[in-house]
Amino acid sequence: MSHGVRVLCRPATASGFALAGLVAETADEDAVLDASLRALMQRPEVGVVLLEESLYRTLAPDLRTVVDRVAQPIVVPFPGPAWRAALSAEEQVVELLRRAIGYRVRLR
């Protein structure tokens, strides 16, 4: 029997997995998350569940214990997107130089 990979994540992350060819189930609320995860864990064809890390942290303690102890499917938390402001052009050049020469320079 072949085992598949399923993804459980927030809606903002699901489109990235769709581009990679994986169907992602989405969950915004804790009740939906718990029910979706329990349903995925009951399916015998599921071998790996990729679970967004922020959702993993909100799991009920009893469900997290089950997830951590069950052999199949393996539940793997993955980091979600981290949105941060882009560096300025000068900061990008300084960072590029730091990586290239090994230490930080000061531009005037």
Which is nearest to 104 in space by CA: 91, 88, 87, 86? 91
Cα atoms in the Cβ-side hemisphere of radius 13 Å centred on 70: 21
Sequential pLDDT tens for the chain (108 residues): 678 888 988 888 888 888 888 888 888 777 788 888 888 888 888 888 888 888 888 888 888 888 888 888 888 888 877 777 777 888 888 887 777 787 776 766
Q: For residue 26, what pLDDT is reported?
A: 87
End-to-end CA distance of the chain: 64
Beta bridge partners of 26: 9
Domains and CATH numbers, the chain: 4-83 (3.40.50.10580)
Q: The whole model's pTM is what?
A: 0.71
Beta bridge partners of 5: 48
Which is nearest to 27 in space by CA: 9, 49, 7? 9
